[in-house]
Amino acid sequence: MIELLGYPFMQRALLAAFVTGLAAPVIGTYLVQRRLALLGDGMGHIAVTGVALGLWTGIAPTWTAVAVAIIGAITIEIIRDRGRTSADLALALLFYGGLAGGVMITGLAGQSGATLQRYLFGSITSISLTDIWFTLIISIAIVVVGVGLLPQLFTVAQDPDFAQVAGLRVRAYNLVIAVLAAVTVTVAMRTVGLLLVSALMIVPVAASQQLSRSFRATMAGGVVVGAGAGVGGLLISAYLSDAHALSVAPGPTIVMVALCCFVATWPIGLLQRRRQRLRAPFPETGTVEHEPAGAHPHEHGPGCGHLAVPHQDHVDYVHDGHRHAAHGAHYDEH
């Protein structure tokens, strides 16, 4: 295992997994904020046609994929901006056309399915030195733009009407997000593959937002989970392949590690949200009819173990579906 880390191809793969895991959740946070979690998936499908065009024409598939994904992203953004009710359907047509076209063009190019599969499921261990530079530069650019324009991009996604009246160019910022998502797709293509590209953008954010209370914390948490899953998943797959002579692809392993992070944080988030709901102060109401609780041998007080929630000028104790407030020697239902 240790000597495996000494190989240059493994070091390159680790670096690629780390930086893509770092960059993808930055854009993913904006996509989740816009409730467009599946958009990355669609762009991945469109990029398949780009890869196939590269294989057909002999141009590097990375570049043709970037070009086609950006064209696809701009088309999607125009469809979304028009706001037609059929936008959902138009996007579906675009996505399936991208995938089917890609597979067909690969056939026309006389390439085998195995070549395309490298792009569909990733081939991080075969990444070349040039590819590493491409991945590094693009990832840094994504992080710089995504973090640098955070106040503007956040505002535009949060409330486009407000953003426009604040003088922001809403369409331009929407295009920035779309193009960044397209570029992220092609960068992550080498790491996890086009079919799982969206997972690296979305799953870390989903895991992070279970525990976070702010946008910045969600993005930071997503980046930590993404980079961690990238490196962790690659190491796990390398270990399994090395020690047990299995061929476990790194891409799916990375996504599974990220999903495990979500599975781990989700119950905590659920518990937190439930506690928050229970602790919310009760609304102030007018006079309440006097309704004494039934036989109540227990005496409530600070530290009695029951949930204490402020209500107007007193405290209600919540247990077994009742709200009990002290009233002289007995308890009232509130």
Partner 1 sequence: MNRTPDAVVELQGGAVAIGGRPILRQIDLTVRSGEFVTLLGPNGSGKSTLIRALTGLRPLTHGSLALFGTPFASFRAWHRLGYVPQRASAASGVPASVTEVVSSGRLTRRKLLRPAGRADRAAVAAALDLVGLADRARDNVATLSGGQQQRVLIARALAGDPDLFFLDEPTAGVDLPNQHALADALAALARAGSTVVLVTHELGPLAPLVERTVVLRDGRVEYDGAPLDIHDAHGHHHLHPAQTEPDPGFVAPLDRDPHQDGEVST
> For 134-146, b where at least 16 C-beta lie within 10 A, e where not — what string?
bbbebbeebbebb
The binder of partner 1 chosen from 4, 14, 34, 248 (CB under 8 A): 34
What's the Cα-to-Cα distance from 326 to each of 291, 292, 314, 332, rounded to whole Å?
A: 12, 10, 9, 6
- Say whether residue 205 binds partner 1 (CB under 8 A): yes
* Contact letters for partner 1, residues 102-141 (x by CB under 8 A): ----------------------------------------
**Half-sphere exposure of residue 258: CA atoms within 13 angstroms, side-chain side:** 35
Check if the beta carbon of residue 238 is closer than 8 Å to that of residue 183. no
CB of 4 to partner 1, least distance (A): 37
CB atoms within 10 A of CB 199: 26
Check if the beta carbon of residue 24 is closer than 8 Å to that of residue 41. no
Can you read off the two tokens belonging to residue 311?
Answer: 């209500």
- Say whether residue 184 binds partner 1 (CB under 8 A): no
- Say whether residue 278 binds partner 1 (CB under 8 A): no
* Contact letters for partner 1, residues 50-89 (x by CB under 8 A): ------------------------------x--xxx----
Distance in angstroms (rounded) separating the CA atoms of residues 69 and 65? 6
Q: Find the part of the chain contacting partner 1 (CB under 8 A) among 55-63, 225-233, 276-284, 290-298.
A: 276-284
The binder of partner 1 chosen from 168, 236, 240, 318 (CB under 8 A): 168
- Say whether residue 24 binds partner 1 (CB under 8 A): no
User: Residues near 89 by Cβ (< 8 Å), separated by ≥ 6?
Assistant: none
Can you read off the two tokens belonging to residue 36?
Answer: 């467009």
CB of 85 to partner 1, least distance (A): 5
Check if the beta carbon of residue 212 is closer than 8 Å to that of residue 221. yes
- Say whether residue 313 binds partner 1 (CB under 8 A): no
Nearer to partner 1, 7 or 162 (CB): 162
The binder of partner 1 chosen from 29, 49, 139, 184 (CB under 8 A): 29
Q: How many residues bind partner 1 (CB under 8 A)?
A: 41
Interacting residue ranges for partner 1, rule: CB under 8 A: 29, 32-35, 37, 80, 83-85, 148-149, 151-152, 154-155, 157-168, 205, 209, 212-218, 276, 280, 283-284
